[in-house]
Amino acid sequence: MDDGGSSILSFDLWADAQKLFSGGVNSPVRAAVKPYPFFVKSGKGPYLITEDSKTLIDYVLGYGPLILGHAHPKVIEAVREQLDKGWLYGTPSRAEVELAKLITLHVPSAEKVRFVNSGTEATMTAIRLSRGFTNRTKILKFDGNYHGAHDYVLIDAGSAATEFGVPISQGVPREVASTVAVCPYNDLECTERVLKDEDVAGVIVEPVMGNMGVIPPDIEFLKGLRELTRAYGTILIFDEVITGFRLGLGGAQSYFSVTPDLTTLGKIIGGGFPIGAVCGKRDVIDSLTPMGKVFNAGTFNANPISMTAGIATIRELEKSDTYKVTERATRILADEIDNSIKMEHVVNKVVNFFQFFLGVKEVKNANDARKADRGLYSRVHENLLKLGVFIPPSQFEALFTSLAHDDKVIEESVSKFKKVLEELT
Ligand SMILES: NCC(=O)CCC(=O)O
């Protein structure tokens, strides 16, 4: 797969990048790659090709969007066709109607949609909507859930906020932080206490936690959230930026048969191009400008390239074996990892994404995940990289599989995981 070298290697680019960017990167998790971040020149199927002409089997997949693998021909074709027609009109276009139809067809809670440009914008908008719609202020989130990089949610956040030790970001006004209550994941008692004592506008939750490693929900937890929020007149927001179109076409809400009031989407629905969406009940979405008084706008909202890539991706998900292939790939790999680790450990998987935790017996919430041996995880990451396998550099992210992770790729990966895990654990 190597496709020729260049005289400027990752190490040199990294030296320049450190002069140009904080920590040498434009999103913090990338700086956790050991021994230093490699730079990528191309991606194809399950592989990344680095600037050092190394081929890596990719289990990061752009942190989740690339469920069809890198550079899927159907997405390339659709985007190329769109490029010839221009890519930004400042007006509605046919593609946004088509993508919204696909989303409302498949996602049970989605009657209407607002497209934005990232998961961050989606959760920011959903929270503002829940506040505007209910005329209340407080939000409840869960410890270790990550909902993006805006002020309302950088409170006990997972992902890079935990990896880099900023669960509560500097710069978030105390007044804003004081509007956010936090409960442990899978804890209904705490949830009920907060809903009873406070006037809560919205409860936002990852229906599967994918930002402290992977932590499945207790089904009773999701059902209980639905009942409690209904009883207290609070908007239930499922943040399905990871799980949307990953656990199946209907996301986590179909998988667990729990329908929230609002859903935030991102990642897969843009086929790997920047996107976010808030969807939900007609009357709630209609509270957004221009019909309502909850403001949202965006130069790039519903831009034709992201829409087109999203349509091509969902159409492929509708007719291909993607869910079968990705579930099989995850099952085989996760089971083999489970068998190869000799020390105490947990492997948490849900359908087609997973994470392993070393030195712990059980991981059911963020506190459990924090107790895992992160240093050892990082060494596993580094040693796998030497053998040509890229897993997330942080314990607090997930391994994803794609349609391109066929049996041959999985077999090769298994032997490499075995080698590293048997040596280090
Ligand atoms: N699970 C967290 C992410 O996917 C974020 C990736 C990034 O901000 O680079």
Q: Would residue 358 count as lying in a domain?
A: yes
Give the list of residues 6+ apart from residue 47 with CB closer than 8 angstroms, or none: 1, 55, 56, 57, 58, 70
Q: Which domain holds residue 409?
A: 52-70+320-424
Co-location of 277 and 416 in the same domain = no
Closest residue CA from atom 9 of ligand 1: 27
User: Does the predicted interface ipTM exceed a cut of 0.85?
Assistant: yes
Residue 215, φ and ψ in degrees, nearest 5: -135, 115
The answer to whether the beta carbons of residues 249 and 318 sit under 8 Å apart is yes
H helix runs in 115-246, sequence order: 119-134, 160-163, 174-177, 188-197, 219-231
Q: Would residue 314 count as lying in a domain?
A: yes
Which ligand 1 atom sits nearest the alpha carbon of residue 27?
9
pLDDT reading at 1 higher than 80:
no
Co-location of 125 and 58 in the same domain = no
Closest residue CA from atom 8 of ligand 1: 27
The answer to whether the beta carbons of residues 351 and 330 sit under 8 Å apart is yes
Q: What is the DSSP string of 243-263?
A: TTTTSSTTHHHHHTT---SEE
pLDDT reading at 114 higher than 80:
yes
Q: From the CA of 232, how far away is ligand 1's center (Å)?
A: 32
Q: Would residue 416 count as lying in a domain?
A: yes
Tokens linked to 74: 């159907």
Closest residue CA from atom 3 of ligand 1: 63
Q: Would residue 41 count as lying in a domain?
A: no
Q: What is the 3-state secondary structure (H, E, C) of 296-323?
A: CCCCCCCCHHHHHHHHHHHHHHHHCCHH
CATH value at residue 199: 3.40.640.10
Co-location of 410 and 283 in the same domain = no
Co-location of 262 and 338 in the same domain = no
Residue 235, φ and ψ in degrees, nearest 5: -75, 130
Co-location of 233 and 245 in the same domain = yes
- With the most atoms of ligand 1 within 8 angstroms of its CB, the residue from 21, 26, 29, 399 to mutate is 29
The answer to whether the beta carbons of residues 389 and 57 sit under 8 Å apart is yes
CA angle 113, 65, 96 (to 5 degrees): 30
Which are the catalytic amino acids? 146, 239, 267
pLDDT reading at 2 higher than 50:
no
Q: From the CA of 160, how far away is ligand 1's center (Å)?
A: 7
Distance CA 308, CA 310 (A): 5
Tell me which residue of 394, 410, 411, 392 sits closest to 402, measured CA to CA: 410
Give the Cβ contact number of residue 109 at 10 Å: 23
Q: What do you get for the CA distance between the two ends of the chain, in Å?
A: 31
Q: What is the DSSP string of 306-370?
A: HHHHHHHHHHHHHHSSHHHHHHHHHHHHHHHHHHH--SSEEEEEETTEEEEEES-S--SSHHHHH
Which ligand 1 atom sits nearest the alpha carbon of residue 160?
2
pLDDT tens column, 339-371: 999 999 999 999 999 999 999 999 999 999 999
Co-location of 111 and 121 in the same domain = yes
| Residue pointed to by tokens 């006037």 | 199
Which ligand 1 atom sits nearest the alpha carbon of residue 398?
1
Burial of 187 per CB tally in 10 Å (0-12, 13-18, 19+)? middle
Q: How many domains does the chain have?
A: 2
The predicted structure's pLDDT at residue 167: 82
| C-alpha to C-alpha distances, 91 to 112, 285, 302, nearest whole angstrom | 18, 20, 9
Co-location of 81 and 218 in the same domain = yes
CATH value at residue 371: 3.90.1150.10
- How far is C-alpha 218 from the chain's CA centre? 20
Closest residue CA from atom 4 of ligand 1: 63
Distance CA 254, CA 171 (A): 37
pLDDT tens column, 394-411: 999 999 999 999 999 999
Mean pLDDT of 219-239: 98
Q: Would residue 351 count as lying in a domain?
A: yes
Distance CA 253, CA 155 (A): 25
pLDDT tens column, 269-303: 999 999 999 999 999 999 999 999 999 999 999 99
The predicted structure's pLDDT at residue 6: 61
- With the most atoms of ligand 1 within 8 angstroms of its CB, the residue from 22, 30, 63 to mutate is 63
pLDDT reading at 3 higher than 50:
no
pLDDT tens column, 189-206: 999 999 999 999 999 999
Query: 293, 318, 343: which is the final residue of a domain?
Result: 318
Tokens linked to 307: 């829409």
Co-location of 61 and 83 in the same domain = no
Mean residue pLDDT of the chain comes to 97
Tell me which residue of 401, 61, 353 sits closest to 213, measured CA to CA: 353
Q: Would residue 213 count as lying in a domain?
A: yes
The predicted structure's pLDDT at residue 208: 98
Which ligand 1 atom sits nearest the alpha carbon of residue 397?
1
Q: Would residue 17 count as lying in a domain?
A: no
Query: 318, 339, 361: which is the final residue of a domain?
Result: 318
| Residue pointed to by tokens 């400042």 | 90
Closest residue CA from atom 7 of ligand 1: 27
- With the most atoms of ligand 1 within 8 angstroms of its CB, the residue from 27, 120, 164, 243 to mutate is 27
Query: 318, 350, 368: which is the final residue of a domain?
Result: 318
Co-location of 83 and 121 in the same domain = yes
Closest residue CA from atom 2 of ligand 1: 159
Which ligand 1 atom sits nearest the alpha carbon of residue 28?
9
Co-location of 299 and 347 in the same domain = no
- With the most atoms of ligand 1 within 8 angstroms of its CB, the residue from 164, 397, 400 to mutate is 397
> Maximum distance among all alpha carbons in the chain?
64
Residues 83-105 as b or e (16 or more Cβ within 10 Å = b) = eeeeeeeeeebebbebbbebbee
Q: From the CA of 29, how far away is ligand 1's center (Å)?
A: 7
Q: Would residue 19 count as lying in a domain?
A: no
Distance CA 78, CA 83 (A): 9
Residue 90, φ and ψ in degrees, nearest 5: 65, 20
Which ligand 1 atom sits nearest the alpha carbon of residue 210?
1
pLDDT tens column, 117-147: 999 999 999 999 999 999 999 999 999 999 9
DSSP 8-state secondary structure symbol assigned to residue 216: P
The predicted structure's pLDDT at residue 7: 78
Co-location of 112 and 223 in the same domain = yes
- How far is C-alpha 220 from the chain's CA centre? 23
Q: Which residues line ligand 1 (CB under 6 A)?
A: 27, 29, 63, 146, 159, 211, 397
The answer to whether the beta carbons of residues 115 and 304 sit under 8 Å apart is no
The predicted structure's pLDDT at residue 54: 97
Co-location of 336 and 244 in the same domain = no
